[in-house]
Homo-oligomer: A and B are copies of this chain.
């Protein structure tokens, strides 16, 4: 019954790469980066591992407008992101006021079992200076 997650070389490699990366990266990018450092791993495995890590809330998954799914190693508490559209650098942000606002709005309209997506995009200071 209890789902046993096996400790494989590939899973460790994906997790380790994410630990060393600050930006959101796509599955394909992560695959390429692993390859570049000589780690033998299949693309399918990268997809499955990222999915599995995301489900276990060990990595964050998001999809920017017009883009593919991106993954990043984040803190475990609920939070959102401020992402540079140009370089991908990411700042984790929390907004207690926003959280309670979302709950209140939803309740006012008779909705239950609420979830939300909230992401900020912009140009970071470094990229602004070209």
Binding site for B on A (CB under 8 A): 63, 65, 82, 84-85, 91, 93, 95, 97-98, 101-102, 105-106, 109-125, 128
Contacts and interface: CB of A to CB of B under 8 A. Distances in A.
A84 B91 CA distance: 30
A117 B115 contact: no
Contacts of A106: 82, 120, 122
A111 B101 CA distance: 24
**What are the 4 closest A-B residue pairs judged by CB atoms, nearest first?**
A110-B125, A111-B122, A114-B122, A116-B120
B115 A122 contact: yes
Contacts of A121: 114-117
Contact of A109 (B91, B114, B115): B91
Nearest to A84: B111
Nearest to A105: B93
A85 B112 CA distance: 10
Nearest to A124: B111
Contact of A114 (B65, B91, B120, B125): B120
Contacts of A109: 82, 91, 124
A109 B114 CA distance: 29
